[in-house]
């Protein structure tokens, strides 16, 4: 090899090496940026768990999507430290009769710099009420039925133009209710009430919320990246009206479904916030980890019956199955998170007009919180035609994939086997598939859970209205509808008398099998400061700082 050729060869190697190094560095930088882990960037690593079915405010009906929405959007009001504060509404006026709310919007911008207008709220709310909404009607449209003309528009009895949501100008939104609603301001913090931009939604009605180029938002964060089945990356919204208080640069929301995997990542320092803990680890964590806590939640864990599917179309079968389980054992030996055995649908923490806890006044509906009522359950099953379980047809319980749900389902399966002599099958489904199956009535018995959206028993009870998008039991009871609808026109003690009657009706009909009242075991690293969780259990990281 000549000297000249050798020198040329070395130069070529050097050039290739430098070029390769640059490419590798660029790729690594891009990967770091995707993961939200570039140097000198404040990142919160949080396990969202399941991939949300949607993060579209008007289409979402699940807590996972709700957590994300609560951080990228902002309604007229927001809950901080358990109190309502002004969000997009700088101020508001209420008429003397309690029917008309006039909201005065602050100067605020969307994440692309365009102004937030009253028309964005009007569009979003009427969008939720559109019975022809793409890709499907909103399951939470009923939360807007307090507004005059809203229910008629949703049911096709009236026009969206007749709904009493009016923009007096770009900064003034006027809303007229059908009846005084003491918790209406609380409702405006909820995701269905969040504003969205018409121009962006109409570019891709089904996919806009997952597309960073279209998903403009008005909250403390905006969508930077959405990697299906893996993670959602949120970035600080520099145009947020209160951006000076936002300390985080990014939030990395992971989709780790397996509780044990998430805990391992947390203990290895790869996650900062988790709220699904393997039940077998709870005793250890209580003793050893000061970041472990049990957070109170207003919600109920239960099974629902498809009242149109055999054999659970028979109220005696539903009642037998409900009485034949030992809730105390499930709470203490399986859930292990401080849960309370549930004997009704409305959980503790919600008060009536006299300041009494609704759940206690309502009573237990004949359910023993500490043991199964085996003899009564067997008698009912025999009356239904299945003495000692003989001839009982094939029944399947569906639940979404999660270790805790599996353990509870297996325990209930064994209790029914021992106490009633019946065999049931268990089937786990991925979250999105499970939600669709439940919503469309493709099940016999299904796991369910409901967390309150605002601090009033109505947040639980209007779920079972015949026109509720979340009435997965497929139950239609005109008497129940009348009780709930009439209660919305009343206040005080008279209103709660109807709510107590309504819950008694749905519990006596046994459309649900309450199992326990929620608590939320969760872990937050000590260096994560000023995190928030609403009274109804939604995470808010708008004011979080990382102080290592």
Domain spans, the chain: 63-255+525-546, 295-521
pLDDT at 45 over 90: yes
pLDDT band of residue 40 (cuts 50, 70, 90) is confident
Bridge-based pairing of strands 231-236 and 250-254 is: antiparallel
pLDDT at 125 over 60: yes
**315 touches 509 (CB < 8 A):** yes
In angstroms, the CA 246 to CA 77 distance is: 18
pLDDT at 12 over 50: no
For the four alpha carbons of 48, 519, 454 and 504, in that order, the dihedral sign comes to positive
Alpha helix ranges (H) inside 179-237: 184-187, 198-201
Q: Which CATH class is domain 63-255+525-546?
A: alpha beta
Kindly state the average pLDDT of the residues 509-530. 97
CATH domain 295-521 topology = Dipeptide-binding Protein; domain 3 (3.10.105)
Kindly state the average pLDDT of the residues 49-56. 95
By percentage, how much of the chain surpasses pLDDT 70? Answer: 93
The residue whose two tokens read 């709660």 is 496
Q: What angle do CA 314, 319, 324 make, to 5 degrees?
A: 130
Write out pLDDT tens, residues 275-296: 999 989 999 999 999 999 998 8
394 DSSP 8-state letter = P
In angstroms, the CA 420 to CA 416 distance is: 5
Beta-ladder partners of 445: 305, 397
Segment holding 232, helix H or strand E: strand 231-236
pLDDT at 21 over 90: no
Q: What's the whole-model pTM score?
A: 0.83
Write out pLDDT tens, residues 430-477: 998 999 999 999 999 999 999 998 889 999 999 999 999 899 999 999
User: Shortest CA distance to 536 belongs to which of 461, 470, 448, 455?
Assistant: 455
The residue whose two tokens read 């019975």 is 131
pLDDT at position 39: 65
What is the end-to-end Cα distance of the chain in Å, rounded? 58
The residue whose two tokens read 């353990």 is 407
Domains 63-255+525-546 and 295-521 share a fold: no
**412 touches 418 (CB < 8 A):** no
Write out pLDDT tens, residues 291-327: 999 988 899 999 999 999 999 999 999 999 999 999 9
């Amino acid at each position: 090899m000549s000297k000249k050729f050798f020198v040329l060869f070395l130069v070529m190697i050097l050039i290739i090496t430098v070029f390769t190094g640059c490419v590798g560095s660029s790729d690594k930088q891009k990967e770091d940026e995707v993961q939200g882990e570039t140097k000198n960037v404040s990142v919160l690593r949080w396990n969202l768990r399941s991939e949300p079915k949607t993060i579209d405010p008007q289409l979402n009906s699940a807590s996972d999507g709700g957590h994300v929405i609560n951080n990228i959007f902002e309604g007229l009001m927001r809950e901080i430290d358990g109190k309502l504060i002004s969000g997009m509404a700088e101020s508001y006026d209420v008429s003397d009769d309690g029917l008309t709310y006039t909201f005065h919007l602050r100067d605020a911008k969307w994440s692309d710099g365009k102004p937030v207008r009253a028309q964005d709220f009007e569009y979003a709310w009427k969008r939720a009420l559109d019975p022809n909404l793409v890709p499907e009607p909103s399951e939470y449209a009923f939360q807007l039925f307090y507004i005059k003309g809203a229910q008629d528009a949703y049911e096709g009895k009236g026009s969206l133009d007749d709904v009493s949501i009016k923009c007096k100008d770009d900064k003034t939104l006027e809303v007229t209710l059908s009846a005084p609603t003491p918790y209406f301001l609380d409702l405006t913090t909820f995701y269905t009430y969040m504003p969205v931009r018409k121009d962006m939604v109409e570019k891709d009605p089904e996919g806009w919320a997952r597309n960073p180029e279209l998903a403009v938002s008005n909250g403390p964060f905006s969508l930077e990246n959405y990697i299906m089945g893996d993670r959602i990356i949120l970035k600080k919204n520099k145009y947020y009206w209160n951006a000076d208080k936002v300390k985080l640069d990014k939030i990395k929301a992971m989709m780790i479904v397996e509780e044990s995997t998430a805990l391992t990542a947390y203990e290895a320092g790869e996650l900062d916030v988790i709220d699904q803990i393997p039940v077998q680890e709870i005793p250890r964590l209580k003793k050893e980890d000061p970041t472990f806590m049990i957070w109170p939640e207003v919600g109920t864990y239960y099974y629902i019956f498809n009242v149109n599917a055999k054999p659970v179309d028979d109220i005696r079968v539903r009642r037998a199955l409900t009485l034949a389980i030992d809730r105390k054992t499930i709470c203490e030996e399986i859930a292990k998170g401080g849960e309370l055995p549930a004997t009704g649908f409305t959980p503790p923490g919600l008060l009536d007009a006299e300041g009494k806890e609704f759940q206690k006044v309502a009573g237990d509906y004949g359910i023993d919180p500490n043991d199964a009522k085996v003899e009564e359950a067997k008698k009912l099953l025999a009356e239904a035609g299945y003495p000692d379980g003989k001839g009982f047809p094939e029944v399947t319980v569906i639940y979404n994939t999660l270790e805790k749900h599996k353990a509870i389902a297996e325990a209930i399966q064994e209790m029914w086997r021992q106490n009633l002599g019946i065999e049931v099958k268990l089937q786990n489904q991925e979250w999105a598939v499970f939600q669709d199956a439940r919503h469309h009535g493709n099940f016999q018995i299904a796991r369910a859970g409901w967390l309150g959206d605002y601090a009033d028993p109505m947040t639980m009870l209007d779920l079972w209205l015949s026109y509720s998008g979340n009435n997965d039991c497929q139950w239609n009871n005109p008497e129940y509808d009348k009780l709930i609808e009439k209660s919305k026109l009343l206040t005080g003690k008279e209103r709660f008398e109807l709510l107590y009657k309504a819950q008694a009706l749905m519990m006596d009909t046994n459309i649900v099998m309450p199992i326990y009242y929620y608590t939320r075991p969760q872990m937050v690293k000590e260096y994560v400061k000023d995190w928030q969780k609403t009274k109804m259990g939604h995470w808010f990281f708008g004011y979080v700082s990382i102080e290592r």
